[in-house]
A and B are shown apart, each in its own frame.
Chain A
Amino acid sequence: MSRNAFLFGLFVAIILVIGLYRAKDGARDSSADIARLEQEIADAYKQKRLLEAELAHMGRREWVAEYARIELGMQPARANQFATEFNLDLLVGPVRPEGARTPAAQIEAVVETVKEDDTPGKAGELVGADEQE
């Protein structure tokens, strides 16, 4: 009985030792993987720094401004091209008096007039009628 117990204990101890050994072996592999990944991260970080430097280099404002000027015909914005809600009256004229018709409403009114008359040649007077208002 004691011999069987001894053998069983020995068996369990061997299993434990083997299990621990495998775990240790796995940890060793994981550690190597981590080191490799850390190296990859370091390389990627280095690459990122280089790309950021290249982006900053390629995005130099003098080049962008030159490109915008030559290729797109753009110029630095002038002060009178900016407006706030307080400046609109001065820049584009006062708000239409209350009750005044919008340009769209004016056109609609003329179209209605044309429909009512329904005579040839009236449509040709649309522009003139709009301008008179």
Chain B
Amino acid sequence: MNAPFGLLKVGRMSRSLMIVSAFAVLFVLIGMRSVSVALGAGGAIDVVDTREREAHIRADIHDRNGELLATSVSVYSLFADPRAIWDAGEVAAALGSVFPDLDTHEVTARLENRARAFVWIKRGLTPRQRQAVFDLGVEGLGFRVEHQRAYPRGSQAGHVLGHTDVDGKGQMGVELALDKVLGMAEEPVRLTLDSGVQYIVENELEAAAANYDVLGAVGIVLDVHNGEIRALASWPAFDPNRPALASDAARLNRAVGGVYELGSVFKPLTIAAALGSGGISSHERFDVRSKLVINGFEITDTHEGASRMTAALVLAESSNIGTVRIAERLGPDGLADAFGRLGLLDKAQIEMSGSAAPILPSKWSALSNATASYGHGIAVSPLAFARAFAALGNEGRVPGLTLVSRERDGERPEHERFVSPEIATELVAMLRLAVTDGTGRRADVPGYRVAGKTGTAEKPIAGGYAEDHNVNSFAALFPSDRPEYVVLVVLDDPRRGGEPGGTAALNAAPVAGRIIERIAPLLEVAPVFDPAARSKRASRERSAP
């Protein structure tokens, strides 16, 4: 009996021990797990990040004063999963009631393709449109938050800014040229443009377009010292918010992508080059009495003046014959070399897409040398010309163009020497004379000491030039005693009542004058009134009929 009892006792003890051991193991495990959880061993905090997963937002574009020119706003894009849609036609019809411009047949076809799990229906929806789609209660549709580029100032600086496609990739202008920078930058990209100056230039171009019925127009304001572009406008205007609606004429940025034979505005460059080479002196007089014939091509002057002119008079009276005589001293190689140093033989280097290459003489012959000296037979972009002209106001150095403010890193483009500071100063004085006593009188603005030159060029046509279609321009430096800015105005085929609109003195010059009068206060150029000039002007106005 003892043995069975003993066995039973041992068995009870064994079972108790097993139960206690099991509980002990269980408690140890619970304890270890508690410690593990409490101490967070191997555990990242399991918190759901509720923020929307969005692509990097494209950087804003500001003007030099921090005014917003381009930004990205969140929009909704509608997509569908065709596999979850039973009746594609019905869904397309319902969507068509929300989006009247939607091609329901095309959408039906896309929704019937059950091999695909994702198709875009429409992108860039407003919150109201999104709600309207929600209200349809259709299954198989969804939304994605995307960023759409917006240009809150409408067409202002539209050609400079350019635009992006629906995927946010730059397609034109700064948006294309700085696509990578804008896609990666955290801070806004600051341009050298001044919104106020840009508005005035665009406003005056629009008025000129209405007054002179032009095909196109260009206005540029450039800082002569550092090549920063304060304004760059092309007419017809372009609204980057609606690029698809723009005509080809509106899409063309004529300031950068158009090339023109600009005519007599080239004369100061030719004269400066000749003075710089030592080929002529400023006191020398040139015979302008008789027309010139070079390789059978006649070169004449449109108006009579003195029979022998100094370089200053050649400029003031805009004598073609005098300019050609001066260019002959330089020779074809000399003139081509001078234009090369001015950057006129290459496309303008600028942070903007679509910079056009110039159209140059195939060979720098005596004839091409003669015509190029007064701006014919060579077609350049207005921006490239503005840069070259700025050299006269920048003590003879050609500034590097830029559209992006470099205040932050202090980077400055290199300047190439064109002529000496003395010759540049002399040329500015000649250009001032061309305004006070020459063809540029209508560009003069009391107080702002405008120096400049008119250019009236017949438009090239097949086999020659059109006598009744011109490209008129006015290139100005102001203030002439200490040049700060270049203002260039180009009017393509100005007309009055269907007739040719006359020379640049009658249209481009006054447009430039009005621009200068309005932008000078914004650019902090103070007017200085010269009593002598004032009385001279008053006497001229009194004697005018």
Contact = CB atoms under 8 A, between A and B. Distances in A.
Contacts of A27: 45
Given A28-B47, A86-B528, A79 B152 contact: no
Interface stretch (A53-61, A103-111, A116-124): A53-61
B334 interface: no
B71 interface: yes
A20 B527 contact: no
Interface string B444-477: 0111100000000000000000000000000000
Nearest to A83: B527
Contact of B531 (A55, A65, A90): A90
A17 interface: yes
Interface stretch (A1-9, A32-40, A125-133): A32-40
Given A60-B154, A60-B156, A53 B40 contact: no
B226 interface: no
A60 B196 CA distance: 10
Contacts of A46: 74
Contacts of B50: 35-36, 39
Contacts of A28: 45-47
For the complex of A and B, the 4 pairs showing the least CB-CB separation, nearest first, are A56-B152, A57-B152, A20-B38, A61-B199
Contact of A61 (B73, B195, B446, B520): B195
Contact of A87 (B34, B38, B527): B527
B25 interface: no
Interface in A15-64: 17-18, 20-21, 24, 27-28, 31-32, 35-36, 38-39, 42, 46, 49-50, 52-57, 60-62
Contact of A79 (B35, B69, B445): B445
Per DSSP, chain A at the interface is helix
Given A24-B40, A90-B534, A42 B152 contact: no
Given A17-B35, A36-B50, A79 B73 contact: no
Per DSSP, chain B at the interface is loop
A32 B47 contact: yes
Given A28-B47, A35-B48, 8 more contacts: A21-B37, A38-B51, A39-B52, A55-B152, A57-B154, A60-B153, A77-B521, A90-B534
A105 B517 CA distance: 40
Interface in B32-77: 34-35, 37-40, 45-52, 60, 67-69, 71-74
Given A61-B195, A78-B517, A82-B521, A35 B47 contact: yes
B526 interface: yes
Nearest to A46: B74
Contact of B446 (A65, A80, A86): A80
A15 B199 CA distance: 72
7 contacts: A39-B51, A52-B71, A55-B68, A79-B520, A87-B527, A87-B529, A90-B534
Interface in B503-545: 517-518, 520-521, 526-529, 531, 534
B65 to A, nearest CB: 12
B67 A56 contact: yes
A74 interface: no
Contact of B153 (A42, A49, A57, A83): A57
Contacts of B152: 53-57, 60
Contacts of A62: 156, 199, 203
Contacts of A83: 527
B360 interface: no
A78 B518 CA distance: 7
A102 interface: no
Contacts of B49: 35
B299 interface: no
Interface in B139-164: 150, 152-154, 156
Contacts of B526: 82, 84
B512 to A, nearest CB: 14
A76 B518 contact: yes
A68 interface: no
B71 A82 contact: no
A87 B71 CA distance: 44
Contacts of A57: 152-154
Contacts of B38: 17-18, 20-21, 24
Contacts of A21: 34, 37-38
A62 B153 CA distance: 9
A91 interface: yes
Nearest to A18: B38
